[in-house]
Amino acid sequence: MRRALAVVLLSVLAVTMPVVTMPTAAWGAPTTQIIQGSVLRLVSVADWTAAGSLLPGQPVEWDIAVSADAPDPGVVRIAVSATGDAQLLLDVALCLQEWTDAGCPHGAATLRTSWSIPRDGVEIPLAQVADTETAHLRLAIFLDPSGGAGAGSTDVRVHAQGAGETVIVGSDGGLATTGLPPGMPWAVMAGSALVASGIALAGRRRRATSETRSRR
């Protein structure tokens, strides 16, 4: 069953700390999530427990494998978006082989470095790959030490689009949709469903009223 859209909820505690050199992202107890669409498949691995207490200089690593089983040759577009009030920095890399303990076997493409991700919900393109390839995306997400003090949270989403399908992954599942325009907000989809339900309900009420009047 396709689940409702879930997002990466990174609850972060912003505190005043010295800026330190970016260390290797630590792994705790990673959680694996698989989002399977009709064509696209995302496999997400991250330690979301660690993400719940993000601190400056202590990044959380998030791996997403993007693949497709398309009937015709094409491309898969990968994007990212964020909303929230906590300033985050991202390192983003792409490998066309599975990551190993030593990194990317044949070298990774660096897509972003210490990137302050916009938090306006707009999808930002990261990469485009052939649908015959598996894209292994790696995000190191860490708190921006210049973001000020105070607690906050930011939702980060990774989007894959191809073959008329959009798949979105977050910290507690994902959503696969077919035939929707790229970048269509999930809230619009939910709103459309509510409007359709309201129209159907109004129609039933009108019919019931007409039947009552005819009996009179």
Q: What is the 3-state secondary structure (H, E, C) of 60-114?
A: EEEEEEEEECCCCCCEEEEEEEEEECCCEEEEEEEECCCCECCECCCCCEEEEEE
Q: What is the pLDDT of residues 94-138, one digit of tens each?
A: 999 999 999 999 999 999 999 999 999 999 999 999 999 999 999
Q: What is the pLDDT of residues 18-34, one digit of tens each?
A: 222 333 444 457 889 99
CB 7 within 8 A of CB 171: yes
Strand partners, 164: none
Q: Give 209's contacts (C-beta < 8 A, 6+ positions apart).
A: none
Domain ranges of the chain: 8-182, 185-216
Q: Give 202's contacts (C-beta < 8 A, 6+ positions apart).
A: none
* pTM greater than 0.75 (yes/no): no
* Dihedral angle over CA of 96, 98, 102, 105, nearest 10: -40
Tell the CATH topology of 8-182: Immunoglobulin-like (2.60.40)
Digitized pLDDT (tens) for each residue of the chain, 216 residues in all: 333 333 333 333 332 222 223 334 444 578 899 999 999 999 999 988 777 777 778 889 999 999 999 989 999 999 999 988 889 999 999 999 999 999 999 999 999 999 999 999 999 999 999 999 999 999 999 888 887 655 678 889 999 999 999 999 975 445 555 544 333 333 323 222 223 333 333 444 445 455 555 555
